Amino acid sequence: MAFSSPLLVIVIIIATFLLATLGLAATITPPNRPFKKIYVFGDSYTDTGNTNSATGPSSFNFVSNPPYGMTFFHRPTNRYSDGRIMIDFVSQVLGLPFIPPYLDRKANKSHGVNFAVAGASAIRHSFYVKNNMSLNITPQSLETEIRWFDKFLESQGCKGWNETPKQCGEAFEDALFWIGEMGENDYSYTYISSVDKLKVQKLVIKSLTTFLQTILSKGAKYVVVQGLPTTGCLPFALFLSSDDDRDAIGCSSSFNKQSYEHNRLLQSKLAYLRNQFPDAVIVYSDFWNSFREVVTSPEKYGFVERFKACCGPGADPYNFEMFFPCGSPNTSACGNPYQYINWDGAHLTEGMNKVLANLMLDGTFSYPPFQTLLKKKGEQSLRT
């Protein structure tokens, strides 16, 4: 059976993408590149350099020091990992360069901008200051990131679709919007406060929903939204929780329940937004179940250490201490980070980021599958 020319183009794009995700060894190249740019939002799991040791979260204030960046870049890049993070792998597979941080004024931003900020909250930072809940020196939130995005659009000549349709079209029509996990910093504040956790959760979901409505109203058509991971499997959560607070896979039950409920509420809001914006493709990236899959069967993905951090002070059992973060004096990194899931106690190794990116991109843990988004993009490209 012969393919029509338009269908063949779509098939080529998706087939090339599927081949690229096998080990993330290949990339999509022009003319099959589905997107010209990526706009990135989020926190430290997604930040590619908008913070550094002096401006980032106070609990991880040595990110500009070795051994951060040791695996791939061979130097610190202000990423909270030993190497590449998930958005880096997504960019590579889509045939794009690494997406530069917004605050790097000299960077080439023709292929997108990363607005994510380590330590950023979903709720306005002023809420935490008002309730005496803030221990973090990072004042940014999703509100900050959307404000930066607006400033970037203005710098590109996009002042609104009615006033500048050509410039706004160039900014939006071939863009993927990647919304990294958000909310964990908000929930971390509740651990040291008497403020009602359910109140914070409602405000987090409301803030995320408002943010998504804002970018969709502006013209975003292809959007990936990450949920929270199984936070209870991170060394810092295991360190802070009691030994009797463990679930079936050895993680903190209370932390994981909180993340699970956040994701349940978020997915409900995404269903609502799909109805509100039927022309947009909104993919949910299931960080929770993909992370749980790896922790449950680490050997399947080449990992040896499930819960111990690669970089830390050497303290058992998790190689994590609150006041001796990775990169500080008297801390060191493991010999082979690719055998570890966790990098510094709260963030992931390049190896884990690579596995999770693959599990999302190949459709195993994305709903609808990421390939659906690519297909829709291919169809849209043929119409224009």
Query: For 176, phi and psi rounded to 5 degrees?
Result: -100, 135
Strands (E), the chain: 37-41, 112-114, 175-179, 222-226, 281-285, 305-309, 311-312, 332-333, 340-342, 366-367
Beta partners for residue 39, in sequence order: 113, 177
Domain 5-237+248-304+356-383 has CATH 3.30.310.80: no
Let me know how many helices (H) and strands (E) the chain has, helices first: 12, 10
pTM comes to 0.92
Position 4 scores a pLDDT of 45
Please provide the size of the chain in residues: 384
Lookup: tokens for 316: 């058992």
Beta partners for residue 333, in sequence order: 311
Residues 6+ apart with CB under 8 A from 332: 67, 311, 314
Q: Closest Cα partner for 15 from 376, 379, 371? A: 371
Residues 6+ apart with CB under 8 A from 217: none
Residues 6+ apart with CB under 8 A from 58: 135, 136, 137
Which residues belong to the active site? 44, 344, 347
Q: Give rounded-to-5 percent helix, strand, coil for the chain.
A: 40, 10, 45
Per-residue pLDDT of the chain (384 residues; tens, 9 = 90+): 444 444 444 444 555 555 555 444 455 554 578 999 999 999 999 999 999 988 888 788 899 999 999 999 999 999 999 999 999 999 999 999 999 999 999 999 999 999 999 999 999 988 888 887 766 567 899 999 999 999 999 999 999 999 999 999 999 989 999 999 999 999 988 877 778 899 999 999 999 999 999 999 999 999 999 999 999 999 999 999 999 999 999 999 999 999 999 999 999 999 999 999 999 999 999 999 999 999 999 999 999 999 999 999 999 999 999 999 999 999 999 999 999 999 999 999 999 999 999 999 999 999 999 999 999 999 877 766
The two beta strands, 305-309 and 340-342, are parallel
Q: Closest Cα partner for 246 from 317, 140, 178? A: 317
Position 72 scores a pLDDT of 97
Position 129 scores a pLDDT of 84
Q: How many CB atoms lie within 10 A of CB 163?
A: 10
Q: How many CB atoms lie within 10 A of CB 25?
A: 10
